Each structure stands twice: as structure tokens, then as C-alpha cells.
Structure 1
């Protein structure tokens, strides 16, 4: 039986708090910037991971480990 839209899928529930979210977004932008300036290494694209988890406010790894940095709903 599929979960109702109110429950959602546990892995995609909001689990990233405000401070954590801002840190992820800043870190993602800095890492992506390394692709264009500085050492110009393709490893900077790894910055997409923290950027996307910050923008979407959900972290699959946090879900697996049962971690939440945001206030309880």
C-alpha cells in the first residue's frame, strides 16, 4: 500500500535545519566555484550534493541515520 500524500516518503521528509541548510548552500557554492576559479578541478562538482540537500531541506543520509537538525513538526 502506497503512503498517503500527507505522510510522504520518509527519506524525503524535511530534516535539515536553518543553520545546517545555510552552511550546506554556502559550502556547495564554494565547491562549485572551484571548478571555475582557483585550482579548476572537476572535484568541485561534488558541491552539487550539499547545495541540493540544502535547497531541498532534506538529506537522505540524515534519514538513514535518524538525524534531524530542524524543529519537530
Structure 2
């Protein structure tokens, strides 16, 4: 777990909340339809929201985490 704590935070609070909500919708839709792809996507979105780090944001040089 300590490795996850050392990741730079590039997902801000609003972005994080949207990701967590979207993850819930994706996972629920995947469970209801039996679509494993939706479940996997939901878990990825859930993980990036939970740790406030998105590898794609790093590649694209995006940072929604406001630093005062």
C-alpha cells in the first residue's frame, strides 16, 4: 500500500467524485448485463478515483488536482 501512497496526485476532488460515480454505474451495468468489459472498465475507473492518480493523465500531462 505504501507504493500507492507515493504516487503523484493528478486527479482533483471533483474529478475523483465523478470517477467514483461513473465506476459505480459501469460496474452495476456490467453486473446487470453480464458484460465483463464494463466491470473491468468500472474497476479501472474506481481504482484511479480511489488513489487520485491516473496514468493516462500523466502521459497527456493533465492535472486536475489544484495546488494552492
Sort the TM-score into its range (normalised by shorter chain). Answer: 0.7 to 0.9
**1:31-42 aligned within 5 A:** 31-37=26-32, 39-42=33-36
Distance, in Å, in 1 between the alignment partners of 2:10 and 2:66 is 8
CA distance in 1, matches of 2:65, 2:15: 8
Runs of 4 or more above 6 Å deviation: none
Equivalent residue number for residue 44 of structure 1: 38
Instruction: Looking at secondary structure, tell me which structure has more helix per residue.
Output: 2
With structure 1 as the length reference, what TM-score do the two structures score? 0.74
Larger Rg: 1
Q: TM-score, normalised by structure 2?
A: 0.79
- Give the aligned length: 62
Q: CA RMSD in A?
A: 1.4
| Structure 1: gaps (5+ residues) | 1-7
SS state at 1:68 partner:
coil
Q: C-alpha displacement at 1:40, in angstroms?
A: 2.5
